[in-house]
Amino acid sequence: MSTRSHSALILFASSALLMASDASAHGLWGHIHVTGWAVENMPDDELREFLLEPEVFNALLFGATFTDSGYAVDSSASRAYSEHTHWEPFIEDFISWVQINDPPPWDSLESRKRVAFLMGCASHGLQDTLFDSLFLYRVDEHDGKGQDEADPATDGFLVMDEHVRFVPEQDLPMDTLLELYAGLDEEITEEIILNALNFVTSVYINDEAGLNIAATIGASNEKALAWTRTHYMDPSVPGSLRAEIFPTMRHQQALWARLHGELSADDAVVFAYPEAPRRLLSADHTSASSWSSLIFGAGVRYEDDLVDLIGPDGESVDFTQANTRWGAEYTRLVRLQPAVDLIPGGWYTARLRSGIQTIDGQTSTTPFEHVFQVACDAASAEDCADLGEIAIASIDGVPEEPSDTGGEVPSGCGGGCASASGGAGLPLLLLLGACRRRRMS
């Protein structure tokens, strides 16, 4: 290898690593795939048919890619558009734009792709909320690591486990985006956006070097992230990539309803962890596995008294209500974190009060209750009868057989580890290690 190409590789590898680490939640390959898997898991209806038109599906997946693109380059303007794209005010503005300028039924391909792109951005934003607000706390508990490690490594694990099927091509509604970004403090131009996207697609979102980089980062982190490696696709762990699929699907369905002006504030809750018939994983209030949470299909104005936690005898349980990890004026999630240990085998209710306000100006008129059971311990085992079959989201386009246990735990690398990391090559692995150490010092 010549000195020149060696230097280019260092720059290339370190830039990719920085991009992956700076992203505001899990890696881009994860976003792309959870977004696509969500569509594949939909019932066979109008929305699924709409989104599976090949060019529309590509636009959806590219929307899920685009959302982090501005973090990839060293520019305050590009970071500003990326950050804004993650959150509900942008999505609501985008929905309003569509309703005013290009209402359904979207006869042209351009219209359909624009709607799908919007849904891709919103899917990405929701996934960040779930992963950061739920899964990362478990990563910290078990592996003592955080976002800098788990974001890029989970992308690598996806490649190593041969789950990567979707490689979207660049396609975005540039004129609409520039119009929507006009109100930001930073001036956003086509050149700024294309500069960031060119970097992302040339370095990372491609089926050549990008996959090798991801796999190399994954391989270099799998020992330090042993729990994450085992559970990043565990459907029983809230916020894992696999556990994000059904909430993303429900969120996409809610977006479709919003675009048609048909989502009521009384239907704002589209998903809840633990999802029935799963049980809450732990009674131990010191663990994030004792948290329950409600997921919204439209941003809900965050107030301190949105929810209550009610115990087996109807009593109020001492708990902390929490917003997303990053806070949000209009949130897509609210967490209930018990302040005392729960009763193994006990039945609890997460109750959302009426009068919540959604970002489109609606106010709910009825409360919502999510009832769930806490996992039993040995002493209470007889209280935990079979609650029925647990649906598991498919990731290969074929419906998954329901599980009685729900605890599908991937067994390490499968067949993909050796080939993926071997393809990246030892020199690149060493370079990435060097880059990471420099960055952390």
| Residue ranges binding Zn ion (CB under 5 A) | 24-25, 68, 128
Distance of alpha carbon 181 from alpha carbon 197, whole angstroms: 16
| Inter-axis angle of helices 54-66 and 109-130, nearest 10 | 40
| Strand, helix or coil for residue 164 | coil
* DSSP secondary structure code for residue 379 in this structure: G
In the complex, least distance from residue 87 CB atom to Zn ion, rounded to whole angstroms: 10
In the complex, least distance from residue 236 CB atom to Zn ion, rounded to whole angstroms: 24
- Please say which residue, 19 or 432, places its beta carbon nearer to Zn ion: 19
- Please say which residue, 24 or 212, places its beta carbon nearer to Zn ion: 24
- Please say which residue, 50 or 117, places its beta carbon nearer to Zn ion: 117
Longest dimension (CA), the chain: 73
In the complex, least distance from residue 404 CB atom to Zn ion, rounded to whole angstroms: 35
In the complex, least distance from residue 438 CB atom to Zn ion, rounded to whole angstroms: 24
- Please say which residue, 25 or 205, places its beta carbon nearer to Zn ion: 25
Which tokens hold the place of 378? 């040995």
In the complex, least distance from residue 124 CB atom to Zn ion, rounded to whole angstroms: 6
In the complex, least distance from residue 132 CB atom to Zn ion, rounded to whole angstroms: 9
- Please say which residue, 27 or 156, places its beta carbon nearer to Zn ion: 27
- Please say which residue, 136 or 376, places its beta carbon nearer to Zn ion: 136
Which tokens hold the place of 57? 């599906």
In the complex, least distance from residue 169 CB atom to Zn ion, rounded to whole angstroms: 20
Distance of alpha carbon 428 from alpha carbon 343, whole angstroms: 50
The pairing of strands 368-373 and 319-322 is unpaired
- Please say which residue, 128 or 244, places its beta carbon nearer to Zn ion: 128
In the complex, least distance from residue 213 CB atom to Zn ion, rounded to whole angstroms: 18
Tell me the residue nearest to Zn ion as measured from the CB. Answer: 24
Which tokens hold the place of 252? 């996409």
Bridge partners of 271? 295
Ramachandran angles phi, psi of 408, nearest 5°: -80, 115
Name the H helices within 322-440. 417-424, 426-440
- Please say which residue, 119 or 391, places its beta carbon nearer to Zn ion: 119
Bridge partners of 292? 336
Distance of alpha carbon 12 from alpha carbon 247, whole angstroms: 35
Distance of alpha carbon 127 from alpha carbon 86, whole angstroms: 10
- The string over 268-302, giving b where at least 16 C-beta atoms fall within 10 Å of a residue's C-beta and e elsewhere, is bbbbbbbbeebbbbbbebeebbbbbbbbbbbbbeb
- Cα torsion through 207, 212, 213, 217, rounded to 10: 130
Residue 76, CA distances (Å) to 81, 168, 196, 274 in order: 9, 26, 12, 38
* Residue type at position 313: D
- Please say which residue, 111 or 123, places its beta carbon nearer to Zn ion: 123
In the complex, least distance from residue 406 CB atom to Zn ion, rounded to whole angstroms: 28
- Please say which residue, 172 or 392, places its beta carbon nearer to Zn ion: 172
Distance of alpha carbon 335 from alpha carbon 326, whole angstroms: 13
CB under 8 Å to 401, separation ≥6 — which residues?
Answer: none
In the complex, least distance from residue 86 CB atom to Zn ion, rounded to whole angstroms: 6
